[in-house]
Every structure is written in structure tokens, then in C-alpha cells.
């Protein structure tokens, strides 16, 4: 059973899950959706997975764009999606993916959700290492169960059958998406900046440029905050957020892994 996993990740959480799942499934290729931006993707695989973090109860904009503009799937391919989240939002995000795929005549056969450490720094800093480790243990167990389900290829399997609050969460999601452009203006750089340029390399939308040895942001922000989280000197900050708030990077992922995958 050949499988291709298309993923998007800012801090490495989704890449970690993709690797765990690939290990369980075998014969699996992992592809960052960022590397597919300029091409039509027609996966030659029995199973295709779409993996991403939940943003404001929904799918990141880059996942919307990937499905709408890049992904083409044949009728006999088994398709599933796997979300990860800090507290909630998986069902709403899966419903979005289902709608996007259905508009292209593609059936979403299964959907899953896995809790992972919180990492949206405007809300809170990184969780304690103990709490992170507990979540990693739970996520690994869930991935094992999910892999078994995928191997069986059930039709219309969703880890939560209903989305009671989808109407409310959709409103919140639309507000969040509109704020993406405005919120990037809250980013700034303090004197810790060494002009290393890592923020430019890790940005999935190429929204950051170095000007006079300082990063500047354009108007195509994904709100993944990879630039802020991965900055080695904690030079990138956000207005209204304490400068000493703990950053989060998935401990099993090297930032160079994400950068390499962006270029295929």
C-alpha cells in the first residue's frame, strides 16, 4: 500500500506526526505542501493523507490553496486528513477539508484529530516539558491506532461524527483569516537580531525579506509564527506579547528539516 502524506507545519508538530504515521504505514512518502506551490500534484499512490495544524478552528490558508490549486486525485485513491490541535477545532477543520475536496469531486474517506502541545504564542508560551511529554505519549498512541484504521480503509470514518459548534467556529475562523494581514504588522525585531536570515528561510509564504539586515514582513502572512518560534536569538517579537515568553519548537524536529522540505 503506497501512501503519500502532504503536510504543513510551522513548529514541527505536524511533521513529527507525519513521520510517526509513515513509520507505522510503511512505503510512505512525506511531502511539504509548500514545495507544491507552483505545480499540479497528481499523487501516484493508493492512499493520500493531508496533515495540518488547526488554526482558529479551521485549516490553514495554505491548505485551502493546496487543495484548490494544486491537488488532483484519481477516483480509486483513499483520502484521509489528520489535524492536530492544542484544545479543539479538529471537526471544524475536517469539515472545511471535506467541502474543499468535494468541490473537486474528491471524497474524503476518513478524518482524525490528535492533540499536541500548544504553540500559538500570542495566547500563551510553551507548555512545561512534562506536559509536552505527556501529550507526545498520547499522540504516539493515537497515531498507532490511526495507522491501523487507515490500513483497513473504512469509508466515511471520522473520529468525531458531528460538529455541534461549527457555525460559531466558522465565524471565528473567518475573523482570524481577515486578521492575518493586519496582525503581521504587530511583529517587530529587537536588538538581539544577528541578521542570520533563518526567519526568511522558514517562512512558508516567502513573506519575509531582509532589509538593512533586519527582517521585514509583507502582506502574505500565514500566521504560523515559524519566524518568531524558530528565531535563535528571540529577536522577533510581537506587540502585546512579553518578550521573554517561552518559544516552542517540536523537540524531535530540526528547523533545517522544515526548510529542506519546503524545496522538495
Q: What does the pLDDT look like over 202-237, one tens digit per residue? A: 999 999 999 999 999 998 888 899 999 999 999 999
- Split into its structural domains, the chain has a count of 2
Whether residues 73 and 163 fall in one domain: yes
Whether residues 250 and 200 fall in one domain: yes
pTM (2 d.p.): 0.93
Whether residues 37 and 61 fall in one domain: yes
Domain that holds residue 199: 181-257
What pLDDT sits at residue 163?
62
What pLDDT sits at residue 55?
87
Whether residues 188 and 119 fall in one domain: no
- Domain with residue 35: its CATH number is 3.40.50.360
Chain segment 47-98, per-residue pLDDT in tens: 999 999 998 778 999 999 999 999 999 888 999 999 999 877 678 899 999 9
What pLDDT sits at residue 199?
97
Q: Of 121, 241, 249, 246, whose CA–CA distance to 186 is shortest? A: 241
- Domain with residue 189: its CATH number is 3.30.70.20
Amino acid at each position: 500500500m503506497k501512501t503519500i502524506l502532504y503536510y504543513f507545519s510551522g513548529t514541527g508538530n505536524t511533521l513529527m506526526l507525519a513521520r510517526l504515521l509513515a513509520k507505522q504505514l510503511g512505503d510512505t512518502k512525506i511531502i511539504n505542501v509548500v514545495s507544491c506551490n507552483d505545480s499540479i500534484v497528481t499523487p501516484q499512490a493508493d492512499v493520500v493523507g493531508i496533515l495540518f495544524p488547526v488554526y482558529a478552528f479551521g485549516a490553514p490558508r495554505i491548505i485551502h490553496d493546496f487543495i484548490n490549486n494544486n491537488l488532483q486525485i484519481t477516483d480509486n485513491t483513499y483520502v484521509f486528513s489528520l489535524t492536530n490541535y492544542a484544545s479543539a477545532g479538529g471537526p471544524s477543520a475536517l469539515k472545511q477539508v471535506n467541502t474543499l475536496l468535494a468541490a473537486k469531486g474528491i471524497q474524503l474517506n476518513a478524518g482524525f484529530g490528535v492533540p499536541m502541545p500548544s504553540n500559538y504564542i500570542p495566547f500563551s508560551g510553551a507548555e512545561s516539558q512534562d506536559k509536552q511529554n505527556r501529550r507526545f505519549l498520547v499522540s504516539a498512541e493515537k497515531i498507532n491506532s490511526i495507522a491501523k484504521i487507515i490500513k483497513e480503509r473504512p469509508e466515511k470514518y471520522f473520529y468525531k461524527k458531528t460538529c455541534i459548534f461549527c457555525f460559531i467556529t466558522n465565524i471565528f475562523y473567518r475573523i482570524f483569516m481577515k486578521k492575518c494581514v493586519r496582525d503581521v504588522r504587530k511583529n517587530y525585531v529587537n536588538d538581539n537580531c544577528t541578521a542570520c536570515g533563518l526567519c526568511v528561510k522558514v517562512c512558508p509564504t516567502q513573506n519575509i525579506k531582509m532589509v538593512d539586515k533586519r527582517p521585514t514582513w509583507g502582506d502574505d502572512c500565514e500566521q504560523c509564527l515559524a519566524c518568531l518560534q524558530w528565531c535563535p536569538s528571540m529577536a522577533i517579537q510581537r506587540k502585546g506579547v512579553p518578550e521573554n515568553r517561552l518559544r516552542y519548537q517540536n523537540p524531535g524536529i530540526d528547523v533545517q528539516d522544515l526548510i529542506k522540505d519546503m524545496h522538495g
